[in-house]
Amino acid sequence: MKTKELMQKKLPLGLTFSFPCKQTKLEEGILLSWTKKFKARGVQGTDVVSSLTNAMKRHQDLDVDILALVNDTVGTMMTCAYDDPYCEVGVIIGTGTNACYMEDMSNIDLVEGDEGRMCVNTEWGAFGDDGALEDIRTEFDRELDLGSLNPGKQLFEKMISGLYLGELVRLILLKMAKAGLLFGGEKSSALHIKGKIETRHVAAMERYKEGLANTREILTDLGLEPSDADCIAVQHVCTIVSFRSANLCAAALAAILTRLRENKKLVRLRTTVGVDGTLYKIHPQYPKRLHKVVRKLVPNCDVRFLLSESGSTKGAAMVTAVASRLQAQRKQIDKVLALFRLTQEQLVGIRNKMRVEFEYGLKKDTHPLATVKMLPTYVCGMPDGTEKGKFLALDLGGTNFRVLLVKIRSGRRSVRMYNKIFAIPLEIMQGTGEELFDHIVQCIADFLDYMGLKGAQLPLGFTFSFPCRQASIDKGTLIEWTKGFKATDCEGEDVVDMLREAIKRRNEFDLDIVAVVNDTVGTMMTCGYEDSNCEVGLIAGTGSNMCYMEEMRNIELVEGDEGKMCINTEWGGFGDNGCLDDIHTQYDKEVDEGSLNPGKQRYEKMTSGMYLGEIVRQILIDLTKQGLLFRGQISERLRTRGIFETKFLSQIESDRLALLQVRRILQQLGLDSTCEDSIVVKEVCGAVSRRAAQLYGAGLAAIVEKRREDQGLEHMRITVGVDGTLYKLHPHFSQILRETVKELAPQCDVMFMLSEDGSGKGAALITAVAKRLQQAQRDH
Ligand code: BG6
Ligand code: GLC
Ligand code: GLC
């Protein structure tokens, strides 16, 4: 670093570490055991990357980030693959021997995921350590092993690699000399010394033409006086030993090539093997022999052998370069996702602000300006079980528009329902009010027809899931449209009147519209019918809203102090005064601006099903613009509003899905994604839906805490009736919601009860109660 004047630069580092390591990631390697000539204490079983990092920390002027640890075989493969894309095997025949190759992920049980390939370092040097090679190991192999640093280990390597070849030759020569077969029975003390013959000697002795002369020189240097016949014999020993080495290597390599061919289900495989190592490089005959034998053993492979000219470090640097790019990308992605992470402190703040808004909405003075409207619903009690009869119900404003027939039997708390789902075309949702209500009445007519109830005069409960100002149970003035509706001439009008007029226009049947209720209220009633402790209704669906039972004395807008009334909070408007700006991201802003009601329903737009997918889409567009996704290409599809419906978000985040399936969902959505893309998309979905669930939790904590304090309770148990596709379909939403409420309202025991029957049932129950009360008044 000093000589290259790199001291002040922060550099990523790739480490070629040519020993068997267990890796759970690229930048980690637990040394399994030393091989070859290394035996430093205290390293086996530890992570060599952190050891090097720690050692570097002791040099304060070094600023280096280790991004990758690779075996020399891997570095070699990468070096060669840079020049030849067919290269998918790396072989080292040097001091040690080893190979790596690209294996299908689906075959690697040790690593999760099934897609693509990963390089596997075989560590074939240890082949035979279980006894598998005993039939071919000789007395010389055994003797060499016993004298090595690691007896019983790396037995295949010891028959092949450079560290051992010369020694094998020496042991053979020693035995021959002892038996009087060489050097005229003369002994040489040098021949007794371990390591006296090295691979470079073997290579020199086998050299074409000069080989014999070299042999003589080498033997003479060992203090011997070889005859011509001795030189020829010694040369022959060298050839036998090095040829066996090449043969064994070829056999092992043939096994890898066969596997590659079978993995790819090919009749013929065309591939390249990157090779490095001193033995392969300096031995004059070795490469030729190896190539020939490999081609003989796998005749159905066209193999190119490519010598790695620049060693394995170039490859290591390339792996590092890729890792460095990924790391930089990771940082950018994390930066975006961090915007969606809410701290405990922030959540507490949100809970407290919501609480303030509740009070504002309830007080006469502040109500007109309140963003959380706290609308009285004139629903004052739960059904008592005496209700009975047949009712019609409408359920408008969620994912589905339904018309229902609800039969309530008294006493047994049992209800029978028949319903039909109708579509509301976009042009009607956003057409004129008259068209909308005519369409609704058309659907009612179809339903009555379908049920064989033509002409029946039934009481009707209208679940209308938009903010309405009510002066009684059967009057509701639409304050403003939310979600996907925008029909003209409705805002400021009584929706019950509009429905009545549409029925009149049709002039086919008459209905007694008894109640108009919000979906939260309908949901609370549906659940309240089974659990009288249910005093909160929650919707986590297309929209986001909550209602609860409030003490009459706290509701300044309605006369009277006795008993309770249900308040439709319309908490979707929370934040419209800017109080959530600190957590509002640029993506939220974009979603808001692209919506039908810019600047309105801020909280709803951060939490509900209609918008979560849009937030995800905005983030994906941004990440793509930054070149972090979809190869930087923003497709037409990605520009299309509404592609990430709640059901897709839910599927993508399901833990049971393999990456491949996530990718398939994205492909179904028209987003051609790689595996890496799919991981990122899943993370984005997770961050967005997690924030939504936490925000819900903060809001809910505010209401249960308020109720607890209002009642002066140390501890409170309460049931929340819940409905909505987000809550029902999403794999983690309900869990995170529950956890957040627990943390933010620790003194409340909150039970969640899923409304199985929708809010139409609740609307019918409310209608039944209202009907009973009407009757009672008339009887008076
Ligand atoms: C349904 C209720 O089950 O859930 C509707 O019957 C309610 O009244 C709806 O509006 C909310 O969920 P979503 O996901 O359909 O908007
Ligand atoms: C030894 C090491 C292995 C390395 C090979 C070649 O076999 O265990 O990791 O690849 O030598 O250097
Ligand atoms: C929107 C509506 C609200 C409804 C909620 C859930 O927020 O304004 O009335 O309850 O969506 O459907």
**pLDDT tens-digit series, residues 536-580:** 999 999 999 999 999 999 999 999 999 999 999 999 999 999 999
Q: Structure tokens of 590?
A: 């974009």
Query: Cα 96 to chain center, whole Å?
Result: 40
Ligand 3 centre distance from Cα of residue 348 (Å): 24
**What is the Cα Rg of the chain in Å?**
39
Q: What per-residue confidence (pLDDT) applies to 776?
A: 80
Give the pLDDT mean for 285-313.
95
More confident residue, 739 or 668: 739
**Using 50, 70 and 90 to split pLDDT, how confident is the model at 4?**
confident
Closest CA to 94 of 44, 157, 146, 152: 157
pTM metric for this prediction: 0.78
Whether residue 156 contacts residue 124, with contact meaning beta carbons closer than 8 Å, is answered with: yes
For residue 377 and ligand 3, the question of a CB distance below 6 A is answered with no
- Name the closest ligand to CA 276: 2
pLDDT (mean) for 98-127: 93
Question: What are the helix and strand counts (H, E) for the chain?
Answer: 25, 22
Residues with Cβ < 8 Å from 509, sequence gap 6 or more? 444, 445, 448, 454, 455, 456, 457, 503
Query: CA-CA distance, 29 to 21, in Å (whole number)?
Result: 5
Question: Residue range 50-57: average pLDDT?
Answer: 93
Cβ within 8 Å of residue 262, ≥6 positions away = none
| Nearest CA residue ID for atom 1, ligand 1 | 758
Residue 705 CA, ligand 3 centroid: distance in Å: 22
Q: Is the CB of 569 under 6 A from ligand 3?
A: no
Residue from 415, 517, 519, 520 to probe ligand 1 pocket by mutation (most atoms less than 8 Å from CB): 519
Ligand lying closest to the C-alpha of residue 124: 2
Residue 780 pLDDT greater than 80, yes or no: no
H-run or E-run covering 534: strand 534-540
CB 729 within 8 A of CB 686: no
Q: Are strands 716-723 and 534-540 parallel, antiparallel or unpaired?
A: parallel
| pLDDT given at position 673 | 86
114 pLDDT above the threshold of 80? no
pLDDT tens digits, 700-756: 999 999 999 999 999 999 999 999 999 999 999 999 999 999 999 999 999 999 999
- Both tokens of 190, joined, read 């040098």
Q: Which atom of ligand 3 is nearest to the CA of 468?
A: 9
| Nearest CA, atom 12, ligand 2 | 96
Active site residues: 402, 465, 519
- Backbone φ and ψ for 436, nearest 5 degrees, come out as -60, -50
The predicted structure's pLDDT at residue 754: 97
| Smallest CA separation from ligand 1 atom 12, residue | 724
Atom of ligand 1 nearest to the CA of 609: 14
**pLDDT category, 185, cuts 50, 70, 90?**
confident
Q: Which CATH number fits domain 381-530+760-779: 3.20.20.70, 3.40.50.300, 3.30.420.40, 3.40.50.720?
A: 3.30.420.40
Residue 759 Cβ inside 6 Å of ligand 1? The answer reads: yes
Mean pLDDT of 249-278: 97
Q: Which pLDDT score is estimated for 300?
A: 96
Q: pLDDT of 321-361, one tens digit each?
A: 888 888 898 999 999 999 999 999 999 999 999 999 999 99
CA of 98 to the centre of ligand 2 (A): 5
Query: Residue range 521-526: average pLDDT?
Result: 96
Burial class (CB in 10 A: 0-12, 13-18, 19+), 68: buried
Mean pLDDT, the chain, whole residue set: 94
Predicted pLDDT of residue 456: 83
User: Does residue 303 have a pLDDT over 90?
Assistant: yes
112 pLDDT band, cuts 50/70/90, is: confident
Measured in degrees and rounded to the nearest 5, phi and psi for residue 265 equal: 50, 45
Q: What is the mean pLDDT of residues 222-238?
A: 95
The torsion angles phi and psi of 737, rounded to 5 degrees, stand at: -60, -50
Give nearest CA residue, ligand 1 atom 14.
541
How many angstroms separate the alpha carbon of residue 269 from the centre of ligand 3? 62
For residue 580, the one-letter residue type is L
Cα 453–chain centre separation = 51
Question: Is the CB of 762 inside a 6 Å radius of any atom of ligand 3?
Answer: no
Domain with CATH 3.40.367.20 in the chain: 72-308
653 neighbors 689 (Cβ within 8 angstroms): yes
pLDDT(660) > 90:
no
Please say whether the structural domain 72-308 has been given the CATH code 2.60.40.1150. Answer: no
Ligand 2 centroid to 142 CA: how many Å? 20
pLDDT category at 611 given cuts 50, 70, 90 is very high
The length of the chain in residues reads 780
- Ligand 3 binding pocket includes 541 (Cβ within 6 Å): yes
Band of the pLDDT at 412, cuts 50, 70, 90? low
Handedness of CA 213, 217, 222, 226 (dihedral sign): positive
- Rounded to whole angstroms, the Cα distance separating 458 from 437 reads 18
| Furthest CA-CA distance within the chain | 137
Model pLDDT, residue 386: 81
Using the atom order of ligand 2, give the atom closest to the CA of residue 95: 12
**Could you tell me which of 399, 400, 402 has the C-alpha nearest to residue 418?**
402
CB 520 less than 6 A from any atom of ligand 3: yes
The residues pairing with 417 across neighbouring beta strands, listed in sequence order, are 406
pLDDT confidence of 423, banded at 50, 70, 90?
very high
**By percentage, how much of the chain surpasses pLDDT 90?**
83
Q: Are strands 269-276 and 389-396 parallel, antiparallel or unpaired?
A: unpaired
In degrees, rounded to 5, the angle at the alpha carbon of residue 131 between the alpha carbons of residues 257 and 193 is: 100
Of the listed ranges 180-184, 442-446, 490-494, 718-722, the least confidently predicted one is 180-184
Residues 171, 143: Cα–Cα separation, whole Å = 8
Q: Where are the alpha helices (DSSP H) in 65-210?
A: 72-83, 139-146, 155-160, 162-178, 199-205
pLDDT per position as a tens digit, 683-696: 999 999 999 999 99
For 635-686, the three-class secondary structure string (H helix, E strand, C coil) is CCHHHCCCCCCHHHHHHHHCCCCCHHHHHHHHHHCCCCCCHHHHHHHHHHHH
- Measured from the Cβ of residue 596, the count of other Cβ atoms closer than 10 Å reads 14
- C-alpha distance from residue 502 to each of 103, 395, 437, 463 (Å): 68, 17, 6, 17
The ranges of the chain annotated as CATH 3.30.420.40 are 7-70+315-339, 381-530+760-779
pLDDT value of residue 312? 86
- CATH code, residues 7-70+315-339: 3.30.420.40
pLDDT of residue 336: 97
The pair of three-digit structure tokens given for residue 509, joined into one six-digit string: 């049947």
Provide mean pLDDT across the span 122-151. Answer: 97
The protein residue whose alpha carbon is closest to atom 11 in ligand 2 is 96
